[in-house]
Amino acid sequence: MATTATGPTFRDASHADVDELVALIESAYRGESSRAGWTTEADILQGQRTDPQGVREVIESPGSRLLTAERDGRIVACCQLEHRGTCAYFGMFAVSPALQGAGLGRTVLAEAERQARETWGVTEMHMTVISVREELIAWYERRGYRRTGRMTPFPYGDERFGIPQRPDLRFELLVKPLV
């Protein structure tokens, strides 16, 4: 486990964490609880953000990790890291809504970048963000990510990713050099 002086404790998730992680991810993105933070998707997507099977798949997948950040024995943030050749993919990022806006997300993102670079020797971090999430994209841009204009379709009709509330959802690839 790596710990910073004033920050959270980081570790990889285990199967024992699945229910706590699903609750954290759902609270950060869906429903009324998500409105306490600024990362909510409640106005553009309803339904689930993830489920126990999706979290287990990330934990079990070769070349993939689900990094957790803990404070006082509780998971307060998480993110997926997946090794993809010369880059790493960053996803399933969630910070407890009650703790958003205080720098925890920035700390977790920096640790994820550090671990991807040191563990896999990757030179870039990739992520996809729903293109209408301008405030979130701007947050990533302030941390060195750039928009690529490369879009992929949102999986309309697959409720595992939520129930879209508008017809124009797409994912945009954001990229950051890690050198």
Distance CA 132, CA 103 (A): 23
Name the pairing type of β-strands 124-130 and 87-95.
parallel
Distance between alpha carbon 81 and the CA centroid of its chain, in Å? 9
**Which tokens belong to 110?**
């920096």
- Structure confidence at residue 6 (pLDDT): 64
User: What is the dihedral sign for C-alpha 131, 57, 81, 3?
Assistant: positive
Please state the length of the chain: 179
- Structure confidence at residue 30 (pLDDT): 75
- Structure confidence at residue 137 (pLDDT): 96
- What is the block-wise mean pLDDT of the chain (179 residues), using blocks of 10 residues? 66 97 89 68 81 94 96 96 97 94 95 97 97 94 98 90 90 96
Global confidence as pTM: 0.90
HEC readout, the chain: CEECCCCCEEEECCHHHHHHHHHHHHHHHCCHHHHHCCCCCCCCEECCCCCHHHHHHHHHCCCEEEEEEEECCEEEEEEEEEEECCEEEEEEEEECHHHCCCCHHHHHHHHHHHHHHHHHCCCEEEEEEECCCHHHHHHHHHCCCEEEEEEEECCCCCHHHCEECCCCCEEEEEEEECC
∠9-118-127 over CA atoms, to 5°? 80
Identify whether the C-beta of residue 84 lies closer than 8 Å to the C-beta of residue 15.
Answer: no
For each of the domains in the chain, give its residue range(s) and CATH number, in order of start: 2-177 (3.40.630.30)
- Structure confidence at residue 60 (pLDDT): 96
- Structure confidence at residue 37 (pLDDT): 64
Distance CA 99, CA 105 (A): 9
Distance CA 133, CA 39 (A): 9
- Structure confidence at residue 5 (pLDDT): 45
**Which tokens belong to 20?**
């706590």
